[in-house]
Amino acid sequence: KEVCRSSIKSAVDRGTECKYKAQSYGGRVDHDGQSEARRLHGELCSALGDVAKAMKRCAYLSDDR
Protein backbone atom coordinates (compact mmCIF):
# COMPACT_ATOMS: atom_id res chain seq x y z
CA LYS A 1 0.00 0.00 0.00
CA GLU A 2 2.93 2.34 0.66
CA VAL A 3 4.08 1.88 -2.93
CA CYS A 4 0.62 2.96 -4.06
CA ARG A 5 0.65 6.05 -1.92
CA SER A 6 4.05 7.15 -3.14
CA SER A 7 3.19 6.56 -6.80
CA ILE A 8 -0.01 8.57 -6.43
CA LYS A 9 1.88 11.33 -4.63
CA SER A 10 4.59 11.54 -7.28
CA ALA A 11 2.02 11.67 -10.09
CA VAL A 12 0.05 14.36 -8.25
CA ASP A 13 3.25 16.35 -7.65
CA ARG A 14 4.12 16.14 -11.35
CA GLY A 15 0.63 17.22 -12.33
CA THR A 16 0.68 20.14 -9.90
CA GLU A 17 4.10 21.36 -10.98
CA CYS A 18 3.03 21.09 -14.60
CA LYS A 19 -0.12 23.07 -13.89
CA TYR A 20 1.82 25.93 -12.32
CA LYS A 21 4.25 26.01 -15.25
CA ALA A 22 1.38 26.02 -17.72
CA GLN A 23 -0.27 28.92 -15.85
CA SER A 24 2.95 30.93 -15.91
CA TYR A 25 3.14 30.49 -19.70
CA GLY A 26 -0.53 31.38 -20.10
CA GLY A 27 0.09 35.07 -20.80
CA ARG A 28 2.62 34.43 -23.55
CA VAL A 29 1.39 34.20 -27.11
CA ASP A 30 4.71 33.90 -28.92
CA HIS A 31 5.52 30.67 -30.72
CA ASP A 32 7.79 29.34 -27.97
CA GLY A 33 5.14 29.96 -25.35
CA GLN A 34 2.52 28.13 -27.36
CA SER A 35 4.64 25.07 -28.01
CA GLU A 36 5.79 25.02 -24.38
CA ALA A 37 2.17 25.22 -23.20
CA ARG A 38 1.26 22.32 -25.49
CA ARG A 39 4.17 20.28 -24.18
CA LEU A 40 3.18 20.99 -20.58
CA HIS A 41 -0.41 20.05 -21.35
CA GLY A 42 0.81 16.71 -22.68
CA GLU A 43 2.87 16.17 -19.53
CA LEU A 44 -0.12 17.04 -17.38
CA CYS A 45 -2.32 14.53 -19.18
CA SER A 46 0.36 11.91 -18.76
CA ALA A 47 0.70 12.64 -15.04
CA LEU A 48 -3.07 12.46 -14.57
CA GLY A 49 -3.09 9.16 -16.41
CA ASP A 50 -0.45 7.91 -13.97
CA VAL A 51 -2.63 9.03 -11.05
CA ALA A 52 -5.60 7.15 -12.46
CA LYS A 53 -3.54 4.00 -13.00
CA ALA A 54 -2.03 4.18 -9.52
CA MET A 55 -5.45 4.72 -7.93
CA LYS A 56 -6.89 1.79 -9.86
CA ARG A 57 -3.99 -0.39 -8.76
CA CYS A 58 -4.40 0.74 -5.14
CA ALA A 59 -8.13 0.12 -5.16
CA TYR A 60 -7.39 -3.37 -6.43
CA LEU A 61 -4.69 -4.01 -3.81
CA SER A 62 -6.70 -2.64 -0.90
CA ASP A 63 -9.91 -4.37 -1.89
CA ASP A 64 -10.42 -5.78 1.59
CA ARG A 65 -13.63 -4.05 2.66
CA contacts within 13 A on the Cβ side of 2:
0
Helix (H) or strand (E) run with residue 53 in it:
helix 31-61
Residue-wise pLDDT tens digits, 45-62? 888 888 888 888 887 776
The SS3 call for residue 62 is coil
d(CA 61, CA 65): 11
Q: What is the pLDDT of residues 2-30, one digit of tens each?
A: 777 788 788 888 877 877 777 776 655 55
- pTM of structure: 0.49
Higher pLDDT, 25 or 35: 35
